[in-house]
Structure 1
């Protein structure tokens, strides 16, 4: 019988103060939340290049992991593209574990203690998110932020899908998009001469030679201690939690120096300095996709010489919806029922790959996961076009751009690479192993959609590489267990495209 973890117990006590009506539902959701996190963790143990796993023995319906220290882990076969919480327990040397945090603690690998705490936060926060889900949900929401609120479970494959350490139950309810709050943003005044500003900064965010930088209230309370701040405007949090929609206006990306999933969500000076150059370049490049892709423009970006105090203003994706059309993040598609149609899923897959491969051939690899990539649906739900937001993690290839007669933007640093492996990993890992897999929900469904879509795609060297190689995906668990290794690390997943022509 499962013993509640300290994190689960603490969150329940906080919930009893903040929302006592949710306590029973929270407790009832805990087993399913643990299974959802354990499923993601088991996927990583089964497929990531973890140095503590010596050998994997795959049976017809089971998987055995022989660990380097002589122990053994047993569980079900791990579909790397499945999104359901189908792993309810695994066995370590015959002892059953239904709690991913306890399993990681007892594995005893380097950094497993810190990662185990994150897994505990992820399961507890996921149970809270599920306990407070909207029921019944609107069939077709009216506002863009309502689509974002429907994504209750967070990242479809990261074990830290809902990890929010540093957030109390009350703060999760107040700021998590799945809880449907309205957040009052604040502003911090900073002398204009002390700021790096690119683009236009609206008059409403200027005051007597000072720039007013929007800040998230969590950041104000926990990071920006001291100094002056004033209430600004009500906004609705989007999937990234730190980006919020102003009703009828722009989206505001704030610095939020908390570790969510894998990364601390501040905003670097590098991102601010590159923001407008990237926005202008990407907008022009999107015109080469025959109207199939729009890029949300960055309107202005500012930092007060600190990644903890910075903000970007970006236009809403709704700007690219014609009357009767809807724009929603790809991560929200699974809540619509549309991907249950094989023909719909194949058509969406064809659209996404057409755009992604076209831009990759030109020299731009998008970070096209389900949060950054949005789809424009017709009145009948047919996928018409794509919208992409947040250019901070794309990759640009000067060599490819030049080959197509395109002048590369004047940028340096991590955004720029001609390494074909890195370019393909960026796109394939985010789009195919991420957005498309999360939408399909399983390996067989993804394979069927790809089998229909791929023959209709233009033949390029990148498509050949996608067809003939294992599918790259970020090794998210390995990265959390080896923080001393900089940059991304990668897993090679069984390729559902193998043999498809």
Structure 2
């Protein structure tokens, strides 16, 4: 029987045509990529409320998951905070699976076939991302100056594996191998952005729009070349060379702002775009954030949104944002939290405790004031001294924070003139937003395991001011997005959540 080629084989075939020198490294990276994606999938199976799993039995050396159809999955104890690829294979009854896509296909669950295809693509793309990488971990990391200034994109291209916990960590459907090499930050490309002219009368514009992006009564909207070719399907005028950041759709201009483009591609969970709501609220949010940062005693900077424009469609819009590196003093580094794990800094318990203390001090202070940050490893950056000491934080991209008018009012702060999804007084929603992104996300990924995260929390929490938010963090399980459940629930929109065991209750995982 003829079988269609696998994603791994398809990428190998394309790679042989466009970059044959990478093919041996790509092939060598495939087993590790399978284990990395399988580890993320096993985390989801062990900890998310998947409706076709009816029981979990933890034994002395392994974990058994009972399926509704009577079959049983066997694998190692699952540390929900681990980032190492410690799951190399699991068993479904007596059959051994080391390939996450094959495992998902064998489970035969609703919507599993489409998810299996995404897992296959994630695995192959992850191997491709790792194929050309060779980054030293020792601190200080030598990040050579480029284009005449210290550059944050050089840190961002060190992040190879994408989302630390999503099985679709490197899934980029719709991107060919040539596209990934041309636009993926881990491959170190230069991307030539274009512009599309739109009558200013047809645009929604907030903030300032620079003269170089105006042409008489028209606005010139920056556009990503992939978006122009595959979504807009229209010509565009060449504009400026830029370096892609981790989010892929945001790029750094040399000596200039970051440009967030409307790159309508599915990355991990959802199709990303720039909504009219985001453009309309951008200037108001930026002004509000500046006032908010002033209340953190210099521990937090929030990058300003300089201008935002849309031609009435999420497929044709752009935001111009201040680059985080402007907040670095002499000899300092501004490092995205996602890139910290690519250095040796988190190997030091004292350093990890200091960073955890800083991040929680800022996050809990803002939460008490009435703002929950989406403080995951892309949005949150840290300013490090030359010796690696964490000094303060930088936050970027306000599009998905949550604001509580009631909490703001208690502190005498006038809420911003906003309505819609950013506004809520729901205590659970506010804590989920911060704890799910910062603690179960950024801090956990930096620590690399439940035991390491628990050690850092035990060192940091006693120094934080008491309050109901801290009590929830200290005593309860941690909220986290149920990332796999969301991908297997195409009929539902919005975030879905699970509760992870407190890090102090997580054992060291057995090697699978």
1:121 to 1:172, Cα distance in 2 relative to 1, 3 A: same
Alignment deviations for residues 395-445 of structure 1 (CA, whole Å, 9 cap, x no partner)? 000000001100000111100000000000000000000000000000110
Secondary structure at 1:387 match in 2: strand
Give the counterpart of 1:438 among 432, 440, 445.
445
Secondary structure of the residue that 1:415 maps to in structure 2?
coil
Q: Does 1:216 align with 2:224?
A: yes
Structure 1 stretch displaced more, 473-482 or 136-145: 136-145
Q: Deviations over 1:291-331 (max 9, x none)?
A: 00000000000000100000000000011111111001000
2:509 match: none
TM-score by length of 1: 0.97
Aligned-residue offset at 1:133? 1.0
Residue 203 in structure 1 maps to residue 211 in structure 2: yes
Distance 1:276 1:41 in 2: 39
Q: 1:452 aligns with which of 430, 447, 459?
A: 459
Preserved contact between residue 466 and residue 497 of structure 1 (Cα < 8 Å): no
In the alignment, structure 1 residue 139 sits paired with structure 2 residue 141? yes
Alignment of 1:100-111 (within 5 A): 100-111=100-111
Residue aligned with 1:213, SS:
strand
| In structure 1, distance between residues paired with 2:309 and 2:505 | 46
Residues 51-76 of structure 1, C-alpha deviations (whole Å, 9 max, x = no match): 11100001122100011111100001
Q: Is 1:293 matched with 2:269?
A: no
- Gap runs ≥5 in structure 1: none
1:153 corresponds in structure 2 to 161
Q: Distance in 2 between matches of 1:134 and 1:189?
A: 41
Native 8 Å contact 2:451 2:504 kept in 1: no
1:494 equivalent in structure 2: 501
Work out which of the residue numbers 397, 400, 411 in structure 2 matches 1:390.
Answer: 397
Which region of structure 1 is more displaced relative to structure 2, 52-61 or 134-143?
Answer: 134-143
| 1:52 matches 2:60 | no
Could you tell me how far apart the structure 2 residues matched to 1:472 and 1:140 are? Answer: 36
1:165 to 173, 180, 186: 173
Q: 1:356 aligns with which of 337, 351, 363?
A: 363
Corresponding residue SS for 1:335: coil
Structure 1 contact 195–305 (Cα < 8 Å) conserved: yes
Moved over 6 A (4+): none
1:498–1:20 distance in 2 versus 1, CA, 3 Å: closer
Asked if 1:412 corresponds to 2:419, the answer is yes
Alpha-carbon shift at residue 190 of structure 1 (Å): 0.2
- Scaled by the length of structure 2, the TM-score of the pair is 0.95
| Partner of residue 482 from structure 2, selected from 447, 453, 475 | 475
Residues 319 and 4 (structure 1), Cα distance of their counterparts in 2 relative to 1, 3 Å cut: farther
Q: Pairwise mapping of residues 269-308 of structure 1 onto structure 2 (< 5 A)?
A: 269-308=276-315
Distance 1:5 1:156 in 2: 28
SS at match of 1:336: coil
Which residue, 366, 370, 376 being the options, matches 2:377? Answer: 370
1:26–1:4 Cα change, 3 Å: farther
Alpha carbons of 1:135 and 1:451: their partners in 2 closer, same or farther (altered >3 Å)?
closer
The correspondence of residues 208-287 of structure 1 with structure 2, limited to 5 A, is: 208-226=216-234, 228-287=235-294
Distance 1:208 1:200 in 2: 16
Tell me how far apart the structure 2 counterparts of residues 135 and 317 of structure 1 sit (CA, whole Å).
22
Superposed displacement of residue 380, structure 1: 1.0
Q: CA deviation at 1:136?
A: 5.2
How many residues align structurally? 496
Distance 1:245 1:58 in 2: 47
SS in 1 for 2:81: coil
Task: Tell me by how many angstroms 1:139 deviates.
Answer: 2.2
Q: 1:163 to 1:465 in 2, by over 3 A?
A: same
Higher relative contact order (CA 8 A, sep 6+): 2
- Give the superposition deviation at 1:132: 1.3
- Give the Å deviation of 1:106: 1.3
Unaligned runs of 5+ in 2: 146-150, 507-512
CA distance in 1, matches of 2:422, 2:334: 27
* Matched residue, 1:125: 125
Which of 177, 196, 211 matches 1:188?
A: 196
Provide the secondary structure at the position in 2 that maps to 1:472. strand
Give, in whole Å, the separation in 1 of the partners of 2:407 and 2:505.
Answer: 26
Q: Distance in 2 between matches of 1:320 and 1:498?
A: 38
Q: For 1:492, what is the secondary structure of its paired residue?
A: strand
CA distance in 2, matches of 1:478, 1:4: 27
Which residue of 1 is the match for residue 148 of structure 2?
A: none
Aligned to 1:80: 80
Give the conservation status (yes or no) of the 8 Å contact 2:136–2:343.
no
The change in CA–CA distance for 1:103 and 1:5 in structure 2 (over 3 A counts) is farther
